[in-house]
Structure 1
Amino acid sequence: MFYELWLIGDWVWNIPLLLGLVFFSMIYLYFLRLLPDSTAFYKQTLLLFLALSLFYIMVGSPFAQLSHLSFSLHMLQMSIMYFVVPPLILLGIPYPLFQRVINHSLLRKISRLLPPPMVSLILFAMLFTMYHMPVVLNYTTQHVLWQNSYVFLMFALSFSMWRPLTDPNPKQRLTKKQMKLYGFHSGLILMPACLLFILNIFSGQIHNPFLAQITAHLCLPLQMSSFDILPPFFNSKIDQFIAGILMLAVHKFSIMTSVRLGSRISEGVRADRETEGCKMRKVEYKA
């Protein structure tokens, strides 16, 4: 049955979302070119485009439907959306560009609506854990508006909780020692969501409500279980265990990578500016 799904050809691409991301990219490039030293930020441009590409794959590509087949795929989608995309976007915004954008009165008011990073982290962890409780998960999967609003709120909070590590302004980031402590605390706060998947294995509560969405979309009987759709070697208990471990692994990897990328980008921009300044002085000297 799993292989027949690929032959149906009913996997869709979200074209409006793609056009929206392309439009956002064009605006980003337009304002980036207005900066006097825009060439010094090419690495950050690559990070932003990587983030937008990952976001589209997770949300607007057929993978968004494929992630409904198992909890491990679903957790991979959620982990990339909340632990990979936000820090890459923040790192992909040059500070001079960020200054121009944040000085806009409307955007400044919107940014003030977000709570402080630690509060955002706690709220995100609570919402993330509640989202994967059977009662909440069953309700949100049956009400698309609530589900989209819930996911959007977590996505907005994820930007706030990542700012201490990847703020566009390097001076607003934590020190290396503080970053390690913040990463440790964030791992502890997110631990209940991981344990929820593992405890469900022993409690016998292994039910995937996302399958109801995908079976309805593909016009399949709602009585179908994951064993009817997924490959015969699929094990639902192992799937939930992998989902819990995968979330913590991606979160830990993202923290380590974001800290390193942030420091390298800051050093690279500083070096490029110094090189560009030397070239300008040489030109002035020759003149």
Structure 2
Amino acid sequence: MIQSLLIGQLVWNLPLLFGLIGIAAFYGLLVLRFTDGSLLSKQPLFFLLSLGLLYITIGSPLTKISHLSFSLHMIQMSIFYFVIPPLFLLGIPNALFQFRPKIRFIHPSINKMSTARNSLVIFSILLFIYHFPIVLTFILQHPLFHKSYTTLLFCLAVGMWWPIVTPDPAQRLCPDRRKRYAFLSGMLLMPACSLFIFSAFLDGTSNPLLAQLTAHLCGPDGTLMGILPSPFNTKTDQIAAGFFMLGIHKCALLATGRIRDQDKKGQTSTGS
């Protein structure tokens, strides 16, 4: 049955692949030109890993495979919003970041921490709204709107990760403030994750992503979804989806915080 659902839909996005290869090549030239680091050092590897995960997440057959169940979809989204943005920022050397063009219309007194909190709040609200079945169904029926919505969420995700993994040490949160920010982040994301968990206990909800995937098959939606193997589109799947997002978000916070702490210790020992 799963093979029938995925016929003709497991495609690779070649334009995106070539675009990401171009970005990787341009990044390599900038690193060699403006920094003393090697392309085999930790930061370029983080950056290339972020590009690789970005392609796998939105440019590979995984995009359609993730529509089979809520849990696969939430794993995909968690990687897209909670793993790729911090890896991307971790991959930008501070020396390279300092060569960014100055944006003169942004006043220097703007509180970057407030901007990050605003990004976090808006991201959490939009992510919560996105997973209401009626909203998700509408978004999926309008591909341009869907791409715009997910792109906006990704940009907001980069903004909310900024104070934790920014390339500029002066803008980075100290460990105590980072813990408070991480706690706030978890609390604001809780409603989106809880939506799946609570809906499972309230007789569950249909999967609009799977409904879109079965549109090319003949038969009622409920019948087509009901003959999938038990791990797919069940109450357990919805509960797992919520916990997967919470777990990946928490692991990403812990990992990025530890990496930045190690970087700080390395800089301190080098300076001494």
Pair 1:87-2:65 in alignment: no
**Where in structure 2 are the equivalents of 1:231-246 lying within 5 Å?**
231-232=229-230, 234=232, 236-246=234-244
Return the alpha-carbon distance in structure 2 between the equivalents of residues 208 and 41 of structure 1. Answer: 43
Identity percentage over the alignment? 43
Deviation at 1:268, TM superposition (A): 4.4
Taking structure 2 as the reference length, the TM-score comes to 0.89
In structure 2, distance between residues paired with 1:169 and 1:233: 44
Query: For the residues of structure 1 that align with 2:154 and 2:241, how far apart are their CA atoms?
Result: 19
Q: Distance in 2 between matches of 1:97 and 1:119?
A: 26
**Residue of structure 1 equivalent to 2:154:** 155
1:19 counterpart residue number? 18
User: What is the CA deviation profile of residues 80-109 of structure 1, one whole-angstrom value per residue up to 9, with x for unaligned ones?
Assistant: 0100000010010001111112x2549979
Aligned to 1:277: none
Map residues 93-242 of structure 1 onto 2, 5 A cutoff: 93-101=92-100, 103-105=101-103, 116-216=115-215, 219-221=216-218, 223-224=220-221, 225-228=224-227, 230-232=228-230, 234=232, 236-242=234-240
Greater shift, 260-269 or 87-96, is seen at 260-269
The answer to whether the 8 Å contact 1:212/1:222 transfers is: no
Are 2:50 and 1:67 aligned? no
The 3 A distance-change label for structure 1 pair 265 and 185 is same
Amino acid in the other structure paired with 2:235: K
CA displacement, residues 27-50 of structure 1 (integer Å, 9 cap, x when unaligned): 100011012412398100001111
Distance 1:4 1:215, change over 3 A: closer
Q: Distance in 2 between matches of 1:9 and 1:172?
A: 47
* Structure 2 match to 1:282: none
| CA pair 74-125 structure 1, distance change in 2 beyond 3 A | same
Partner of 2:2: 2
Task: Output the CA distance in 2 between the equivalents of 1:71 and 1:60.
Answer: 19
Cα shift readout 1:54-99 (whole Å, capped 9, x = no counterpart) = 1111100000000111110000011001000000100100011111
Length, aligned pairs only: 266
Give the C-alpha shift of residue 240 in structure 1: 0.4
Q: Report the equivalent of 1:256.
A: 254
- Kindly report the root-mean-square deviation, in angstroms, between the aligned alpha carbons of the 2 structures: 2.5
Contact 1:55–1:81 (CA<8 Å) still a contact in 2?
Answer: yes
Q: 1:265 Cα shift? A: 3.4
Q: Secondary structure at the match of 2:98?
A: helix
* 1:10-41 deviations in Å (ceiling 9; x for gaps): 41000000111000001100011012412398
Q: Give 1:267 shift.
A: 4.3
Give the residue type in structure 1 aligned to 2:167. Answer: P
- Counterpart of 1:223, as a letter, is P
- State the shift of 1:237 in Å: 0.2
Distance in 2 (alpha carbons) for counterparts of 1:70 and 1:107: 45
Q: Write 1 or 2 for the structure with the bigger share of helix.
A: 1
Rounded to whole Å, the distance in 2 between the matches of 1:145 and 1:35 is 37
Q: 1:156 to 1:60 in 2, by over 3 A?
A: same
Equivalent residue number for residue 281 of structure 1: none
Go from structure 1 to structure 2 and tell me whether the alpha carbon gap of 1:233 and 1:23 turns closer, same or farther (over 3 Å shift): closer
Contact 1:48 1:88 (8 Å CA) reproduced: yes
**Preserved CA contact (<8 Å) 1:51 1:88:** yes
The TM-score, its normalising length taken from structure 1, stands at 0.85
CA contact (8 A) 2:43 2:90 kept: yes
Contact 2:70/2:233 (<8 A) preserved: no
C-alpha displacement of 1:204:
2.3
Query: What letter is aligned with 1:76?
Result: I
